[in-house]
Structure 1
């Protein structure tokens, strides 16, 4: 199988997925001796474009896990904007030390439906977007080592291909429902309408939160106003250098505390070839 280029494409609100995909893609390109090109899929304008590949490409596609699956508000973009046309794909999801549940299975299914051939897949731990108490500092050096070893194995598999590969076999059910968040009392909790608040005394109006919001939900004229859909990705909180953005929704905070109490034990990365 003659390949000509390695691509990376990912949605990464807080940066973990981008680091993961870039590490895998960079090592894969080096081992295959091919050029590497990166595509951002995080900002609204990036997701308005169509991305078409060919059977001479191998694409590392990444997304974080939201409630055990792919981010539901981004799913239609993955389903309609990417066109594989027989390109090989490496599916990669990140998760914040709880579980990736069905996100990897869903991503593989979406890519296969888009015309890609999933040659490999992996789920990788990254700092939880909601809190530094879960997987702080990950992906770290050991995680990056595992990612590079995974990429080497993918390169070996690709170099030995003589026919179209069977779809990557991963655990999970693409059609399974989303994980139901729970509070510290163990009961389901809802915070769909929760939106970030702004500490006026700290905000200097730099607009970083506006630029980094993947949903374009924050008013450019008034960063304290969030008229659009908020998916709780925490991009505005993580990217604000003045620590002016925060969430105070009680249900959301109870869920975060439950995660911290229940899922502190470090999880392992998992790969499938």
Structure 2
């Protein structure tokens, strides 16, 4: 079998989970295995369709945005062809809820010709916050990643006809989770964009890490495209020069940090 990892990971939390699963599965095999990796975080990579065969195993991870698979990834994900490959979909969320993201990702893969044999929902530091699920996935999470990988390996090597897996979720899918403003009405923060303060040293790192390719190279305070609030430019800025000042965004961020502070644990399906 050829092992493959695929992920969208603006702040590296999904990458850490997927890499951990792949590493632990291949370690079980007991010999050196070459893993084919597709990091589709940046827009140039998402221009190329990917195809697999029945001899492939694909561990694919995406973050959860508003309880669903990020809609900006749907077009790309629909170009990934399984041709009977085995797949393990994984979603990573910021400690609120993964809602219907996992079942949506599972369905996408099945519609593209994959056989889904396991799935998982893990927690990563929230893209809006530096305190909500801080530093996750942490050591405890990675121990669960290792155990998950061991279970996948056991299933693959002990079942003659590897069974499909069922996951939690609703069909039809729930609507995207939407925050509320101070009056209790839905607050649409999709058009909110980050600001840049005077601490900016014009290093261009934010240009390089923006998964939408939206930050202007000549003037990094400007956006030439959409902002998906992934947190990459803010969390990776060496001088903390990027920030949001929108009232509804900040209100939502604060509510998340208060209402969902209680630690949630990964959920595995195998």
Query: Does the pair score TM above 0.5?
Result: yes
- The root-mean-square deviation of aligned C-alpha atoms, in Å, is 1.3
Match for 2:224 among 219, 223, 227? 227
Q: How far off its partner does 1:160 sit?
A: 1.8
Matched, 1:83 2:81: yes
Q: How far off its partner does 1:192 sit?
A: 1.4
Give the 3 Å change call, closer, same or farther, for CA 213–175 of structure 1 in structure 2.
Answer: farther
Kept in 2, the 8 Å contact 1:183–1:258? The answer is: no
**What is the distance in 2 between the residues matched to 1:238 and 1:244?**
10
Give the 3 Å change call, closer, same or farther, for CA 125–162 of structure 1 in structure 2.
Answer: same
Cα shift readout 1:9-64 (whole Å, capped 9, x = no counterpart): 00011110000000001111111344322211100011111111111111100000
Matched, 1:188 2:186: yes
Kept in 1, the 8 Å contact 2:61–2:89? The answer is: yes
Correspondence list, 1:182-261, <5 A: 182-183=180-181, 186-199=184-197, 201-261=198-258
Identify the residue that residue 123 of structure 1 maps to in structure 2.
121
Identify the residue that residue 63 of structure 2 maps to in structure 1.
64
**What is the distance in 2 between the residues matched to 1:104 and 1:64?**
10
**What is the distance in 2 between the residues matched to 1:183 and 1:26?**
43
**What is the distance in 2 between the residues matched to 1:104 and 1:72?**
14
Kept in 1, the 8 Å contact 2:6–2:39? The answer is: yes
Q: Which contiguous aligned blocks of 4+ residues in structure 1 show a shift greater than 2 angstroms?
A: 32-35, 163-166, 182-188
Report the secondary structure of 2:66's partner residue: coil
**What is the distance in 2 between the residues matched to 1:115 and 1:31?**
27
TM-score of the two chains, using structure 1 as the length reference? 0.94
Identify the residue that residue 38 of structure 1 maps to in structure 2.
37
Kept in 2, the 8 Å contact 1:184–1:257? The answer is: no
Matched, 1:27 2:24: yes
Kept in 2, the 8 Å contact 1:126–1:139? The answer is: yes
Matched residue pairs, number? 267
Unaligned runs of 5+ in 1: none
TM-score of the two chains, using structure 2 as the length reference? 0.95
